Chain A
Amino acid sequence: GQQVMQIPQYQHVQEGEDFTTYCNSSTTLSNIQWYKQRPGGHPVFLIQLVKSGEVKKQKRLTFQFGEAKKNSSLHITATQTTDVGTYFCAGPRNSGAGSYQLTFGKGTKLSVIP
């Protein structure tokens, strides 16, 4: 079945350093989503990428969707302590009869050292 893999599993950075997490799918995706989960919180939607090669920015966060629509990345420039949390990518899977589910990667847990 469809698998979504993320690396690295953990990342510790000094505040101000950059951070990147990578996501790879075993199948071509119609779109890919990114979520952030703060410690003790729940996953919250960040963004969805749809087009091959698409790049989207949200302030210091840059999201990229690969040309083959099988991989994606999230890059954070000049990390801040507010960036702490686990970042998940997720790809849709057609379950038939017009219904979809999301397959989540295991996430990258980001720690920022002040």
Chain B
Amino acid sequence: DAGVIQSPRHEVTEMGQEVTLRCKPISGHNSLFWYRQTMMRGLELLIYFNNNVPIDDSGMPEDRFSAKMPNASFSTLKIQPSEPRDSAVYFCASWLTPGIYTGELFFGEGSRLTVL
């Protein structure tokens, strides 16, 4: 299996520009998670989907952030307009929704965003 695939791996943009990050979960996985990682705040859950439906978006910082999952094999995280404080590594992760004994969460390699 190819694993969770994210693009782009690196993005440098200027403040005010729109940024779109993409994720392809592992085939057969029905839950997809978007995390943001910074030195100050660690690994924060932004939003997650179960069977393509957003379940919890309470971690989305503000209206500038939006996420979609139009089908089981693709999700996007969009920031519009971007700000320097959005600079971080954004990880996508997926799993096959387990029972109460949760299984392994598979992470993509991340998208490193720098907003100048």
Query: Which residues of A are interface residues toward B (Cβ below 8 A)?
Result: 30-31, 33, 35, 41-45, 48, 50, 88, 90, 92, 94-107
Flag if A48 contacts B102 (CB, 8 Å): yes
Q: Is the CB of A107 within 8 A of B101?
A: no
Report if B75 contacts A (CB, 8 A): no
Tell me, yes or no, whether B100 is within 8 Å of chain A by CB.
yes
* A30 with B105: CB separation less than 8 A: no
Known A43-B43, A107-B42; judge A101-B56 contact (CB<8 A): yes
* Contact present for B97 and A99 (CB under 8 Å): yes
**How many residues of chain B are within 8 Å of chain A by beta carbon?**
23
Minimum CB–CB distance from A52 to chain B (whole Å) comes to: 13
Chain A: minimal CB distance from B25 (Å): 14
Q: Given A48-B103, A101-B48, A104-B43, do A42 and B110 touch, yes or no (CB 8 Å)?
A: yes
- How far does the alpha carbon of A95 sit from the alpha carbon of B101 in the complex, in Å? 14
Interfacial chain B residues near A41, Cβ < 8 Å: 109
B48 lies within 8 A of A48 (CB): no
Contacting residue for A102 out of B50, B105, B108, B109, CB 8 A: B105
Point out the residue from B33, B48, B50, B100 that lies within 8 Å of A97, measured CB to CB.
B50
In the complex the two chains form, is A92's CB within 8 Å of B97's CB?
no
User: Which of B45, B97, B108 lies in contact with A98, CB distance below 8 A?
Assistant: B97
Q: Hey, which chain A residues are within 8 Å of B109, CB to CB?
A: 41-42
